[in-house]
Each structure stands twice: as structure tokens, then as C-alpha cells.
Amino acid sequence: MAAMATRKLIRDAFCKALVSRPFQGARHFSSAPETIHKIPHTSKKGRLLTGATIGLVIAGGAYVSTVDEATFCGWLFSATKLVNPFFALLDPEVAHRLGVLAAARGWVPREKRLDPQSLGLQVWGRNFSNPIGLAAGFDKHAEAVDGLLGLGFGFVEVGSVTPVPQDGNPKPRVFRLRDEGAVINRYGFNSEGIVVVAKRLGAQHGKRKLDETSSTLPSSSDDVKQGGKAGPGILGVNLGKNKNSEDAAADYVQGVHTLSQYADYLVINVSSPNTPGLRVLQGRKQLKDLVRKVQEARDEMQWGEEGPPPLLVKIAPDLSKEDLEDIAAVALALRLDGLIITNTTVSRPAPADKNPLAAEAGGLSGKPLFNLSTNILKEMYILTRGKIPLVGCGGISSGEDAYKKIRAGASLVQLYTAFAYGGPALIPQIKSELAECLERDGFKSVQEAVGADCT
């Protein structure tokens, strides 16, 4: 299999080189007759670079095809770094769209290596091979679940999904603050709607059941089953409300009725800054009424031995101490299954505030959000007395960042912006660094480190 993948990679590289070579030469030609047949110096350099690249691919492929699968897998992940500069040249939303399509069509590497044992943990009765997840907002329409989980994420969250399809806000609506490692977006819950997403998740669920039935691989009763309804990892479904909806609770209830059968956990998103009036739902009374109605809708459905999917709420980083106390009180009173902390911020933390694009409306994500969201995370862990599993999200770009979130109270963590910049190679890097952090400080597992800075 390694040799086949190598041959395909080499073939693709050759094809791209052959297709691009005439274009590269033609764009340097002058219209003057005396220079038509002359090969410019820059074109020669380009061809030399192309040849060198192909040579490296062939040499590297020839080497890794002779070694074990784990080495070959590592080489493929490292090779994805070569693609990142090309994505950086594209419009941010176009690059985002291409990234989703690549994962959906299997044009991304698939992780074959086992995660470090110290990273495994159980949350909500579900076994996670590692605590690193992909946040909602990347795969909004559940197009690439299998490909994204195959990258080695412990869990992937799709959405936000709205009941009725909507286009979201006008373009442009995504802006890179590259020097700051940040992004500002105002997508506005662009969604293909719950019917389309349900069909995709249903087809995927059916395929997995078929594969399990037809599998001839022996299984041991002593093995701990990793993953959930989506296969090799845990799948979360993030629910949103339509922009013009007058009954927010009805929108979330509809999402539960249609999508919960395919989800390992559900998220009520009341914290996006790009839907007017949405964040008002974080108020004590509003949140209590909303969560109660959604819980009732979920619990009225028929469930098997696994029971209903856990219900989480995703909150904003732009909350006062009183707001956090109200949310914690509601979460404890209604026995909420978890909180995701946090969504994007409408503030512009340094150094993002110095960037000219900081004036763009929308939510900011990425490195400048890290301290703000981590402080909120720690505060909420203390307010909930560690009784509710928390998911840390906001500004994570390294294993050390993930470790700090865990020590601040997160059982699980999520990436988005760093993944958009760093690509697939970032995932094994973060997992490796996190395992090193745990070992360095004497923790045998992620669970042992949760909330270590809050005692």
C-alpha cells in the first residue's frame, strides 16, 4: 500500500509539473520578435526548481516505500507542509473551501500510528484516543467527517447547522491576520440546512454499519472500543438558529430531532457574534429556558443502551463575571453535560488590535484569543467546581497551549485557526508535544492534569 501511494504521489507531481511548465515559460515571454525563442533566465530557474522538487519526491518516496507504514505515514504528514504556501495565496474563503473538499475526497493523509497511551481518556462514557478536536466552523455541512477524523483528531465537530438553509453574510467575510496568527470571520451561520446534513451523516452511518458487519477482522472482548458513531473518532454536531427565526428554542429542538441520532454529542451554539440577538440567549433566564426545552426534546426520543447524546453549550469569551456565574448556576442546576469555552471574540486582543484588518466586523480567533479564553475556562472550572466536563477552545497552536488549557480545567480541547494555517502536519505535532508535557510534569494521563492550575 505504501508503494502504491508513493507511485500515485509521484505521478501526480509529474502531471502537475508537465501541466504547469508551458504556463510558467509563456508568462515570461516578451512580445518582441527577437525574444520569442529565447528561454529567460527566470524560466530556467523555475524548471530547475521543478526538477529538484520532483527529484526530492521520487527520492523520498523511494525511501519511505521501503520502510514501515508508520514512517511512511509520518512522511506524508510532513509533506503536506509543502502545500501550505499555495493555500496562503488564495482568498481565505476559497482556501477554506478547498481544504474541506480535499478532506472530503480523501486528498489528505490518513493517520496510521497509534496515539500515545497517556492521551487516551473517557468523557461522557465515550473513549477518546486523544483530547485534540477540530472545532465547529471548519466542516460546516458535514462533508468531510471521515477524512478529518482520519487525520488523527480525537473528535470532530461539524456545523453550525441551521434548520433552514441560509447563505450567511455577504462576502468578503473572512480575513487573515497572518502575522498575528489570527482570523476574523463573519460567516453568519451559512448552512445547507439540517435535511442535507442529516442525509450525509445518515449515509456515513449506514456505510460504517455495513463495514462493521462485513469485516472479517477478529475482535477481542478485552479491547477498548475507540471512537463513536462516525467511526474512528467522536463526532459532535453543533446546532444553530436561523437568522430570521423568532423562536430560537424551536430551531434547536428541530436540530435535536433530526440530527441527534448521528451525534456522539450535541452543542447548542448561543455565542456566535455574527447572528443578531444570538448572544442574548446566554442570559440566565433565557439560557435556562432554552436548555430545558432542548433537554426535554432529546430525552423524549427513544434511545438504545448508549442513551441520549450529551448536550453541551458553547459560550462567548466576552462575558462578565456575573454572566459566568449565571451560566455556571444554570449548568449545575440542569446538569448540563458540558460547556465549550470559548467561541470567537468581538474584542481585538493585542497584538491583533494593531492590524488594519482589526476594524473588520466579526469574531476573532487564533493566538490573540488564547489568554482571554483560557482565563474564562479557568474561571468556569472553579465556578462549576470541576463537576462539568469543559472543552477548551481558542488560540491553541501547540502541545504546550493544549496542556495549559487542560491544566486550566479542560478535559478536551479544540483547534481551528492554527489548523487552517498549519495544515494536517500540526495534528501529530501537537499530540506529541502534549504527551511530552504530561511526562515532563509527572502526569500519567490527561485526566490527571485536568484542572491542575485551579487547586
Short-list 135, 162, 156, 138, CA closest to 252: 162
Q: What is the CATH number of the domain that holds 123?
A: 3.20.20.70
Q: Give domain status of residue 203, yes or no.
A: yes
Q: What integer pLDDT is reported at residue 40 of this predicted model?
A: 44
Structural domain boundaries, residue 209: 68-213+225-448
Calculate helix-pair angle for 426-440, 399-407, nearest 10 degrees: 50
Q: Give domain status of residue 119, yes or no.
A: yes
Q: Give domain status of residue 9, yes or no.
A: no
Q: Give domain status of residue 293, yes or no.
A: yes
Write out the E strands in 147-297.
Answer: 155-161, 174-177, 182-185, 234-239, 265-269
Contact criterion met (CB below 8 Å) for 351 and 306? no
C-alpha to C-alpha distance for 362 and 344, rounded to whole angstroms: 8
**How many domains is the chain partitioned into structurally?**
1
413 phi, psi to nearest 5 deg: -135, 160
Q: What integer pLDDT is reported at residue 293 of this predicted model?
A: 96
If one counts every other C-beta atom within 10 angstroms of the C-beta of residue 201, the result is 24
Q: What integer pLDDT is reported at residue 30 of this predicted model?
A: 36
Instruction: Give the C-alpha distances (Å, rounded to integers) separating 80 from 18, 87, 415.
Output: 21, 11, 18
C-alpha to C-alpha distance for 166 and 427, rounded to whole angstroms: 32
Contact criterion met (CB below 8 Å) for 100 and 139? yes
Mean pLDDT by 10-residue block, N- to C-terminus, for the chain (455 residues)? 47 44 37 40 51 54 62 89 90 96 95 95 95 97 96 96 96 97 96 96 83 58 53 90 92 96 95 85 89 96 90 95 95 97 96 97 97 98 97 98 98 97 96 98 98 92
157 phi, psi to nearest 5 deg: -115, 125
Q: Give domain status of residue 18, yes or no.
A: no
This prediction's pTM: 0.84
Q: Give domain status of residue 439, yes or no.
A: yes
- The sheet carrying 182-185 orders its strands as 174-177, 182-185, 363-366
The residues that are catalytic are: 272
C-alpha to C-alpha distance for 129 and 152, rounded to whole angstroms: 9
Q: Give domain status of residue 249, yes or no.
A: yes
Q: Give domain status of residue 16, yes or no.
A: no
